[in-house]
Structure 1
Amino acid sequence: MMDKLPKWADILLVPLISLLLAALVSALVLLAIGQSPMQALTVMVNGAIVSPYGWGYTLYYATSFIFTGLAVSVAYHAGLFNIGAEGQAQLGGLGVALACLFLPWPHWSLALVGAMVGAALFGAAWAAIPAWLQAKRGSHIVITTIMFNYIAAAVLIYLLVEVLRPAGQMDPASARFPATTSLPQFQDIPGLQSLFLRYAADGTVRLNAEGLPLYQKVPANVTFFLAILACVGVWVMLWHTRLGYMIRAFGKSEKAARYAGISAVKITMTVMLISGALAGLMAINNVMGQSERLLQNSAEGAGFIGIAVALMGRNHPVGVFLAAILFGFLYQGGAALGLETAIPIELRTVVQGLVILFTGALDQMVRMMLGWAFRARRTV
């Protein structure tokens, strides 16, 4: 029987070794296709971290992954595997679009509150149907949430083409949101502006026609701070409230929880509503904060990446935050890799898959190796 690892090793060493193994295998793949691993790493770091443009995009991607990672984590603590965050995020985008297009907002702060309500309600409503089927009819949550991803995509396409598409517009997308709903991006926020100054070749700050400094435009916006608040809120709910205790107790042993008087129907419905709301909130980042209109693929695959983020983050808000930053780095660094080198951009998907493989499927193997190492150290 494998010895239990120390808590610090379980939290730090297991993910770190999994990452190193994924990086090692990725390097071998690069060597196999005749490319330099060091060049690839340098380009990814420069493209995703070093420049303000790069880390602006890294944090933009990470914001979406935080919301979907939290959505998967909350459900996981109740013993439920929500694979429907992608569809819930798409329907959340619909809620954002309806709130921004059909309600008059005098200021972006009020529009943000309205968009949050719309995104959370639509995401929760889409998660409620699989939750009810699981709680009342015994339908497996994994199967129903997967199916509802495709249904959500079909519903969104229909609405964009037949209902929300402006007359005379060819692409399936809604009208642009009013200017009053535009969220401040990082280069617009006082205190962060100096980080995004644009410089000329001689090192001086570039100025516009009015003599004011020019700033590098990035998609990262105030939704990032909303994502941090969501991490804090989930942590408080799961570990410092009665509801969180019932959720975790139900996830550990459904039979014991039922014996203690915890309603399976209530927990299943409540958890999936919270999970769907978190996934829906993701849409604020890209629908309202970046594109400022509802597009066909509004979720951009973030719902599926959230599964890997939750697994790697050990379903803890702090771990989810750090894992989301890592996957944001992989996304932006992979894009730089495809633009600046001959390495195919699809390698980003390979690296993501390897990270998921080692942090998820091969997690037990890493734990076993560490268990042997700690046992050998104790016998010396």
Structure 2
Amino acid sequence: MSAPITLPRWADLVLVPVLSVLTAFVVGGLVVAAIGVSPWDATRTLITGSLGSGEALGFTLYYTTDFIFTGLAVALAFQAGLFNIGGEGQATLGGLGAALVCLHGGFLPGWLLIPLGIVAAAVFGGIWGLVPGYLQAKRGSHIVITTIMFNWLASTLMGYLLVNGMRAPQSMEPETVPFPPQAAIPTVHGILEALGIPSATTPLNLSFLLALACAFAMWLFIWRTRTGYEIRTTGANPTAAVYGGIAPAWIIMLTMGLSGALASGVAVNEIMGVQNRLLLEFTAGYGFVGIAVALMGRAHPVGIVFASLLFGILYQGGAELAFDQPKISRDMIVAIQGFVVLFAGALDGLYRPHLARIFTALPRTRSGPI
């Protein structure tokens, strides 16, 4: 049996993901060149389309917000040795919770209604994540299977409610009436214009700050609290956790509940920050992208923020690239994102043996004769 590959922590958290992403872009560039488009022109369009203006940056950070929430949700489950694929369903139920509060709390002022909507989204999403956690902890059901099933259950439930109970009167669209104006989370461009600063109109809102706050809170919780230590211990070795007096069943349920609450941040950004009404499929696949974000970010909040920004660039810049280069379809952009997932996730060990040999050889070189 070969010895485990060990790298310095900074190399594992920074160098390996960077090399994986660069490899993905090189392979993507070869595919782009094969269809007759200059990789340099495509890269320039991708960057300027996502970061080259205030409007582009606003859309990029708007997508980044959703990816931070779902990436944190998946990463938190990773810390306990769980694979939460139910971000879509948990965000969907979070949207239901936020909508119920916003639709029936129109008599409340915005400073109270918005926090209540956020809390309701977290509670509904947390409960939807807690149930699969309970099924694994107490009934032995596999978390991957149950969370996938709960995605479909959430989608079916939302469709039924919007068609048969919550749909706006005299409307054929499966969506609710608009929320009260005070339920809308302030947008960044609205705040800047109120301060007299001209700004492009984008969907970026203060949910972005909430996402960053959640990332910081998760770092404090996982690495600076006793419960966080118990979660990491359970994920590393459940048997040792039991020997140390930790109850893995409780940790599994707690972790999945918190994971679902984090995933509900997508509902806060989309339902309360942009759409201002509840509608079908507002999650738009963000829950599944969160898996790739968590893998690339090494399940660490800092890495997840940067990985989310990368996918935000790919989403916004990819849309501009598909518009500017007719030969590059939206499917091609998805393929490039797939390369990123492939090299950052499935081929995670591609560079590890080579880097390990380099770092192992460095001390010998320094200790040799000069």
Secondary structure at the counterpart of residue 47 of structure 2: helix
Tell me the residue number matched to 2:238: 254
> Aligned equivalents of 1:82 and 1:318: distance in 2?
20
Q: How does 1:256-271 map to 2 (within 5 A)?
A: 256-271=240-255
Change (3 A) 1:75 1:3: closer
Task: Tell me if the contact between 2:5 and 2:352 (Cα under 8 Å) persists in the aligned partners.
Answer: no
Match of residue 319, structure 2, among 335, 346, 357:
335
Tell me the residue number matched to 1:289: 273
> Aligned equivalents of 2:225 and 2:194: distance in 1?
35
- The letter of the residue matching 2:14 is L
* Residue 287 (structure 2) pairs with residue 303 (structure 1): yes
Tell me the residue number matched to 1:6: 8
Deviation at 1:337, TM superposition (A): 1.2
> Aligned equivalents of 1:365 and 1:180: distance in 2?
51
Match of residue 355, structure 1, among 318, 336, 340:
340
Match of residue 242, structure 1, among 226, 242, 246:
226
TM score, norm. by length of structure 1: 0.92
Give RMSD over aligned pairs.
Answer: 1.5
Deviations 1:309-354 (A, max 9, x none): 1111111111111111111111101111122221111122111111
Deviation at 1:2, TM superposition (A): 5.3
- The letter of the residue matching 1:365 is L
Deviation at 1:110, TM superposition (A): 1.8
* Residue 163 (structure 2) pairs with residue 161 (structure 1): yes
Tell me the residue number matched to 2:37: 35
Deviations 1:82-116 (A, max 9, x none): 00011100111111111111112543332221111
- The letter of the residue matching 2:251 is I
Tell me the residue number matched to 1:229: 213
* Residue 356 (structure 2) pairs with residue 367 (structure 1): no
Deviations 1:189-233 (A, max 9, x none): 2499666x3xxxxxxxxxxxxxxxxx4211000111111110111
Q: How does 1:1-380 map to 2 (within 5 A)?
A: 1=3, 3-190=5-192, 197=198, 215-342=199-326, 343-378=328-363, 380=365
> Aligned equivalents of 1:235 and 1:229: distance in 2?
10
Task: Tell me if the contact between 1:126 and 1:276 (Cα under 8 Å) persists in the aligned partners.
Answer: yes
> Aligned equivalents of 1:369 and 1:28: distance in 2?
24
Task: Tell me if the contact between 2:87 and 2:260 (Cα under 8 Å) persists in the aligned partners.
Answer: yes
- The letter of the residue matching 1:256 is A
Task: Tell me if the contact between 2:163 and 2:174 (Cα under 8 Å) persists in the aligned partners.
Answer: yes
Task: Tell me if the contact between 1:74 and 1:275 (Cα under 8 Å) persists in the aligned partners.
Answer: yes
Secondary structure at the counterpart of residue 172 of structure 1: coil
Task: Tell me if the contact between 2:24 and 2:339 (Cα under 8 Å) persists in the aligned partners.
Answer: yes
Deviations 1:142-191 (A, max 9, x none): 11101111111111111111111112111111111111112211111249
> Aligned equivalents of 1:194 and 1:44: distance in 2?
31
Instruction: Name structure 1 gaps, 5 residues minimum.
Output: 198-214
Task: Tell me if the contact between 1:135 and 1:265 (Cα under 8 Å) persists in the aligned partners.
Answer: yes
TM score, norm. by length of structure 2: 0.94
Task: Tell me if the contact between 1:186 and 1:193 (Cα under 8 Å) persists in the aligned partners.
Answer: no
Tell me the residue number matched to 2:368: none
> Aligned equivalents of 1:3 and 1:154: distance in 2?
45
- The letter of the residue matching 1:39 is D
> Aligned equivalents of 1:55 and 1:190: distance in 2?
15
Secondary structure at the counterpart of residue 346 of structure 1: helix
> Aligned equivalents of 1:161 and 1:288: distance in 2?
20
> Aligned equivalents of 2:226 and 2:98: distance in 1?
31
Deviation at 1:3, TM superposition (A): 4.4
> Aligned equivalents of 1:264 and 1:44: distance in 2?
45
Determine what percentage of the aligned residue pairs are the same residue: 47
Deviation at 1:374, TM superposition (A): 2.9
> Aligned equivalents of 1:3 and 1:294: distance in 2?
48
Secondary structure at the counterpart of residue 168 of structure 1: coil
Task: Tell me if the contact between 2:65 and 2:308 (Cα under 8 Å) persists in the aligned partners.
Answer: yes
Change (3 A) 1:191 1:238: farther
Task: Tell me if the contact between 1:2 and 1:368 (Cα under 8 Å) persists in the aligned partners.
Answer: no
Bigger Cα displacement from structure 2, 367-376 vs 166-175: 367-376
Task: Tell me if the contact between 1:78 and 1:250 (Cα under 8 Å) persists in the aligned partners.
Answer: yes
> Aligned equivalents of 1:346 and 1:337: distance in 2?
12
> Aligned equivalents of 2:194 and 2:70: distance in 1?
26
